[in-house]
Amino acid sequence: MVKTLSKSIRQYKKLSLLSPLFVIGEVIIEMLIPYLVGILIDNGIMKGNMSYISKMGLLLLIITIVSLILGASASYVSAHAAAGFAANLRKDMFYHMQDYSFENIDRFSSASLVTRLTTDVNNCKWHIK
């Protein structure tokens, strides 16, 4: 099943691999924030060093913005790859159904085929996302 579905990812393979990397980067940065706040408290607030507090505050702000950008990028790339995968899968299924024999066409109802082209593909898309 995975082998069959992986053919539909085609040009979106790079994006689907890039999304988890963005998420990993976001998580690493989010995990740094409490550590940096601890350093800020120990070296800045406890010692009353205002210039250090300002520098660390600016660093924390920059890190937060980078984390936000990585999270938004992960969401965008993931959604784009999932939508492209779904479009390719629908196209592949449509062309496959065009090759059905008359016996297969009689066996499957139109509603069943439409369901496969919409609901089932959307379910696969949400799992990719």
pLDDT (0 to 100) of residue 1: 65
pTM of model > 0.95: no
Phi, psi of 100, deg, nearest 5: -65, 145
60 and 36 Cβ atoms separated by less than 8 Å? yes
pLDDT tens, 64-119? 999 999 999 999 999 998 888 888 888 888 887 777 777 777 787 777 777 777 77
User: Would you place residue 58 in the very low, low, confident or very high pLDDT band (cuts 50, 70, 90)?
Assistant: very high
Q: Where are the domains of the chain?
A: 13-128
